[in-house]
Amino acid sequence: MNGATFFLVVNFVVAMSFAAVFLVVARRSQSRKAATWLGYGFAVASLSAICELLVAYVGPSKIWALGAFATVLFGMVMLSLGIADMYSRRIDLRISAIFITGALVNAYLIYDLPRGTPWQAFLYQTPFAVVVLVAAVIVIKAHRQTRIDRFLGLLLAITGLHFFAKAGLAVTFGSGAQASDYIRTSYALISQSLTAVLMVAVGLTLLAKLVLEIMHVHKTESEIDLLSGLLNRRGFHRRVGVLLEQDRKAAHAIILCDLDHFKRINDGFGHDAGDKVIEAFSAHLRLNSPADGAIGRLGGEEFAIFLPRMTTDRAVHLAQRLQFGTVSLPALPTGITVTASFGVAEVSNMQGLAEACRQADQALYRAKSRGRNRVELADGDEPKSAFAGR
C-alpha cells in the first residue's frame, strides 16, 4: 500500500465517520435538515475513495474515474445545501441539478484530454471550487456572525481555493499518463493528504457549530418557565448578572410583584383558571416592560422585572402602569378581577442583586400588609401608587 492509497482509505473512514455523526446529531438538532444534508454529503463524497481504488486496481478506468468525480461533486453539493440551510439561505435545487449535469458532461468531455495540462486540470477542479466557494460566500455574508461562523467562512474559502492550487500541482507534478496511474503519483499523495486535512477541519467546525446550537437550545430551555414563557429563577439571575456586568457603574431598578389572593383563584375556579391567569399576567408584563430588561417568574405567582439604567422613581411609575386590576380575564367569571402588589428597589453592583431583592421583597410585603394592589418603594414609608386602596 503506497501513501496515496493509505490516504484514500483514511479519507473514506473519516468521511463515513462524519456522515454517521451528523446523522445522529440531526436527531437532536434544531437544524435537522441541515445536519441530514451534511451527513449524506459526507457519505456520498466518501464513495470517491472507493472509485479511485477501483480505477487503479480493477477498471475500466473511465467509468470509475467519472464515478469518483461524480461522487465528490454530489457530496459537495449536498454539503453546500446543508450549510445554506444552516444559515437560513436557500439554494435552488433546479440550478444545482443543471450545474451538476453540466459539470458531469464537462468531466466526460475532458477525460480524453492529455492529463496534467493546464486546460484539463483547471476544467476538472473548477466545479469543486465553485461549489465550496458558494458555501463560503453564504457563511461570510450571514448576519450576526460568531467567531465560529467567521472561522468556518474562512476555512471554506481556503478549501474552495485549494482546488485551483491542486490544478496547479497537477500541472507541476503530473497526475499520471492515464487515470489508473494517478494513485502512484506524487501529486496523488499531496492531493489526498490536503483533502484529509481540510475535510477533517471543515467537518469538525460544522459539527462544533451544531453541537453549540444544541447546547444553547438546552441551556435556554432550562432557563425558561414553561407556563409563563418568562425566565425562571435560574435564567433571571443569570440574565441580570450579564446586564450588571455590561454596566457596572450605573444604578438600576428591580420590581418584585405578586398576584393578590392567588390561592383563592386556584381554590375557587380550579388550577386551569389559575394557569390562565399566570399566562395572562406574564403576557401583560412582557408587553408593557422595556425590551432591554429581564422578566422572570420566580415561582408560583411571584414575578420579577429587572430594569437596567432606570431610576427607582421611573420604576415606580412603571409598576403603577403594570397594575393588573383592569385587565379582563376570559378564564374567570365576569366581574372577577385579579390585582397585584409591587415592591421596588434600587440595584447596584456595590449592593448586589441579592440585597436588592431582599429590599424589594420587604417593600412587596409592605404593599401586601397595607391592603394589596399597591406599589411600595424599598426605602419609603408612604404608599407610592396612584391606585392605592382601589
The residues with which 375 forms a beta bridge, in sequence order, are 342
For the question of residue 213 being annotated catalytic, the response is no
Number of domains in the chain: 2
* Lowest mean pLDDT across 98-107, 162-171, 179-188, 377-386: 377-386
174 and 240 together in one domain: no
State if pTM tops 0.75: no
Phi, psi of 26 (to 5 degrees): -60, -25
- pLDDT tens, 201-219? 999 999 999 998 888 877 7
Of 194, 219, 244, the position where a domain reaches its end is: 219
- Return the CATH number at 356: 3.30.70.270
On whether residue 390 sits in a domain, the answer given is: no
Nearest to 294 by CA among 233, 365, 351: 233
Rounded to an integer, what distance in angstroms lies between the CA atom of residue 135 and that of residue 145? 15
Domain span at residue 140 reads 3-219
Q: Which of 313, 304, 314 has its CA nearest to residue 364?
A: 304
- What is the per-residue pLDDT across 320-357, written as a single tens digit (0 to 9) for each? 999 876 556 777 777 778 889 999 999 987 678 889 99
Among 186, 219, 252, which residue terminates a domain?
A: 219
Q: Residue 26 maps to which CATH number?
A: 1.20.1070
For residue 101, the tally of other CB atoms under 10 A from its CB is: 10
Same domain assignment for residues 91 and 238 = no
Helix residue ranges per DSSP H, the chain: 3-25, 32-57, 61-86, 93-110, 118-140, 147-173, 186-222, 233-246, 262-269, 271-288, 312-322, 352-369
At 340 the pLDDT is 92
- Looking at the structure, do residues 186 and 288 belong to the same domain, yes or no? no
Residue 385 clears pLDDT 60, i.e. is over it: no
Q: Tell which wins on pLDDT, 371 or 177.
A: 371
Please state, rounded to an integer, the average pLDDT across all residues of the chain: 88
Residue 94 scores a pLDDT above 50: yes
Q: Is the pLDDT of residue 109 over 70?
A: yes
Listed residue (294, 280, 305, 282) closest to 364, CA to CA: 305
Q: Name 259's bridge partners.
A: 340
Which residue in the list 213, 301, 346, 376 is annotated as catalytic? 301
Residues 15 and 163 in one domain: yes
In a shared domain, residues 323 and 238 = yes
- pLDDT bracket for residue 96 (50, 70, 90): very high
pLDDT of residue 9: 87
